[in-house]
Each structure stands twice: as structure tokens, then as C-alpha cells.
Structure 1
Amino acid sequence: MKTSILALVVLVTLSALTLRDPGTSYPVDVRQSSMRWAGYYLFSFGEHNGTINLKKGELIVTDNQLTGGSFEIDMNSIKNLDMAANNGGDDLVNHLKSDDFFSTEKFPAAFFEIMKVEPIKDATGDQPNVHITGTLTLKGVKNTLKIPATVKHSGSTITAHSKFKFDRTKWNVRYSSEKFFSDVGDSAISDAIGIELNVRATK
């Protein structure tokens, strides 16, 4: 009798998994998507900013709602926009690619995988309407990241916009961090990296 009940439970569980809607994949149009970054000095008003490219990705939609997805980020595509290439811009980019920062020769790609999408109650207009929780793998380190986003779904296209900051030191990017180096003084760099992400995906 116990064997029959166990078999029934297993059958019902497998049936539920089989019937669960896996969602629809919307490939990311990397040419219509963008990612901007910003880094900040800790004791001055200066900052640097630039872009970095998405290499590929997808968004998963179930019942017209974003439910999952993933992105691959090309770390070697880092660009600086606030200085001319021959006036410090190239030097900054090379420094960002070095082991002081992102070690792009060893870790040429970063990855973000969406784990959970939660609606924001009473969201209006172009304000963020969801919280996206995912895992960011950067410089070989994987940590959970929760970000606000404005997600819109229209016909065969879904767009997502997000502005957020994350603590670089959690991904072993520690250069000139006051948290780890007590002698950096006025040259300390903020642990926060700002990101503005615009994603467009089409079924």
C-alpha cells in the first residue's frame, strides 16, 4: 500500500513538472541594447564613465511576465567616454582590464542569471516595476545581486531598463579601496560601481 502511494506521489510530481510552462525565450538584440558604467573617487567629485557590451543573452517570458533570463558581458569591450584616447583614456581602459581591476585576460566574460522577478506594488509610469534577483559572476566570483528594473512587454518585444550600483569588492575588485588599504588617502576609489542597463529582446 505504501509503495502504491509513493508511486502516485511521484507520478503527480512528474506530471506537474511536465505541465509547467517553461516560458518563451526572447533573444537579446545586442545591437539595440546598451550598458554604461561609472566609477567614482571617494574624496572628490570626479568620476569616470564609459560603456561595455553585452555579448549575448535571452529573456524568458511566461504569461506575458518576465520570469527569467541570462546575459553574457564582454569584459574586453570596456570603453572610456570621459577622456580622449590619447589623453588618458587608453591608459584607464588598460588599467581596468588589468589584474588591479577586472583581469580580462583571465576572465574575458561576466555572466548574470536571473533567479527571481518580483513585481513592485503600486509602481507607476516609468518608475521601476520589478525587482530582479540574480547571480552575477564577475572575475570568477559569483554573488547574488538584486536590482530594480522597468520592464515593458509589447507584442513580440520586451524591454528592460535598470540603474543600480553594486559593491565591487564583493567580486574581488579591491584596487584603492579604503576598506582594504588604509594608506590610499585622498586617492581612494569608491567601492560602488554604477550601471545603467538597457535591454531589448525580440521573440
Structure 2
Amino acid sequence: MKKNFFALTLAVIFGFSATATEPIEVDKKEVKTEESTVTWKAYKVTGSHTGTVNLKSGSLMFDEGNLIGGDFTVEMASLISTDLEGEYKGKLEGHLKSDDFFGVANHPTSSLVFTKVEATGKNSYEVTGDLTIKGITKPVAFDVSIYGSKATATMKIDRAQYDVRYGSGSFFDNLGDKTIYDEFDLVVDLVF
């Protein structure tokens, strides 16, 4: 009886250690940057502006069909406004690319790297990641939904955390109706 118990104990211990050392089979899916979109919406006291920025590269990692990671890079020089035309469109885009906002000449890309992924339901995940804008990295949390070869995420970003100061009530007093709110929205639609 003791001999059988000892043999069973060894089998369980070695069985667990063998299972624990097997490598995870990661399926890396490259994002189709030309078919994917990143849309932004920023708010001010007197209204809002919308636009897009292009993905330079991106990938999602899966284990047995479950999302386990991801990383993305956007081209900040591609930042455009979609709600304006003509002279005002050009002025806004130039201002957003200037050092007042995103300093595109010195910071041509921004990136996001997933650090934690938890399933919250069928095809739904809660993701924590490191977002880098203007060389400053801060954690962000958001939800991701995946259906087939498409993924969607919506997130709120606080620009003040990335030293994007222009018109921010976090840095300047008495801006009145010239205040631009710190939080802006990103809607990301990925095809992979």
C-alpha cells in the first residue's frame, strides 16, 4: 500500500512538472494595416474634432484561439482631421503635429504593448497595456472584442499623462471656452 502511494505521488509530481515545462504554442497574427483603422475624437468646451491615424505595424497573439498578447505602432505623421476641410483642416493637422501637441518631428511613432489579458466572456477580453506617446509610457486598460479575423477596442486616453499640454486645464488656469479636455477617445478596428 505504501509503495503504491509513493509511486502515485511521484507520478503526480513528475506529471505536473512535465506539463508545466511544455512550451505554449503561440499563434501570432499580423494586423493588415491597410484594412485596419484607428479613429480619434477629442473634445473641447465648444465642440469636438475627429480624425484618424495610421497603423505602421501590429500583431495579436493567441493560444488555442484565446487572445494572450498584442503590440502596435502608429505613424504619428499620418494624424489627420476628418471633420474639417480646407484651410481649417490644414491648420488643425499642423497644430496637432507640432510640439504644442504630439511633437511628431521628434516622436514619429506611438506604441501599445499588451501586458495582461483576461477573458471576460466569449470573444471578450479586458486588456492592460503600456501606451507610449511622446516617449512617455503609461499603463492603460481597455476592452477588446474579437470576431473571426476582426478585433475592436475602444479606449479613453488622458493626454496630460503624456505631456500634451496645449489648452489643458490640468496645466493652465482661466482658459474658459478655449479649454481642450484632457481625455480623448480612440476606436480601433483591426483586421488580421
* Alignment partner of 1:200 is 2:191: yes
Q: Deviations over 1:107-135 (max 9, x none)?
A: 000010011111225x6xxxx82111110
Counterpart in the other structure of 2:71: 70
Q: What CA distance in whole angstroms lies between the structure 2 residues aligned with 1:98 and 1:39? A: 16
- Cα displacement string for residues 163-197 of structure 1 (whole angstroms, at most 9, x for unaligned residues): 22111101111111111100312100010111110
Cα deviation code 1:133-183 (max 9, x no counterpart): 11001100000010112122x3xxx32101221111011111111111003
The equivalent of 1:90 in structure 2 is: 90
Letter in 1 for 2:128: T
User: Does the residue aligned with 1:31 lie in a helix, a strand or coil?
Assistant: coil
Q: Which residue of 1 aligns with 2:49?
A: 48
Length-normalised TM-score, structure 1: 0.82
| Structure 1 position 14, deviation (Å) | 10
1:35 aligned residue? 38
Q: Any stretches of 5+ residues in structure 1 without a counterpart? A: 1-11
Are the structure 2 counterparts of residues 103 and 21 from structure 1 closer, same or farther at C-alpha, using a change threshold of 3 Å? Answer: same
Q: Deviation string for 1:11-43 (max 9, x for gaps)? A: x989945x22151110110011001001111x3
Structure 1 residues 68-125: Cα deviation after superposition (integer angstroms, max 9, x where no partner): 01001000000111111x230001000000001000000000010011111225x6xx
Q: Is 1:147 equivalent to 2:142 in the alignment? A: yes
Distance in 1 separating the partners of 2:18 and 2:91: 56
- CA distance in 1 between partners of 2:170 and 2:141 (Å): 22
CA distance in 1, matches of 2:56, 2:43: 26
- Write the distance in 1 (CA, Å) between the matches of 2:100 and 2:177: 18
SS of residue in 1 equivalent to 2:160: helix
What are the within-5 Å matches in structure 2 for residues 1-203 of structure 1? Answer: 16-17=20-21, 19-41=22-44, 43-44=45-46, 46-84=47-85, 86-121=86-121, 129-152=124-147, 154=148, 158-201=149-192
Q: Which runs of 5+ in 2 are unaligned?
A: 1-15
Instruction: Give TM-score, length-normalised by structure 2.
Output: 0.86
Distance 1:13 1:111, change over 3 A: farther
Shift >6 Å, 4+ stretches: 12-15
Call closer, same or farther: CA 1:90–1:147 in 2, change over 3 Å: same
The whole-number CA distance in structure 2 between the counterparts of 1:15 and 1:130 is 26
Max radius of gyration: which structure?
2
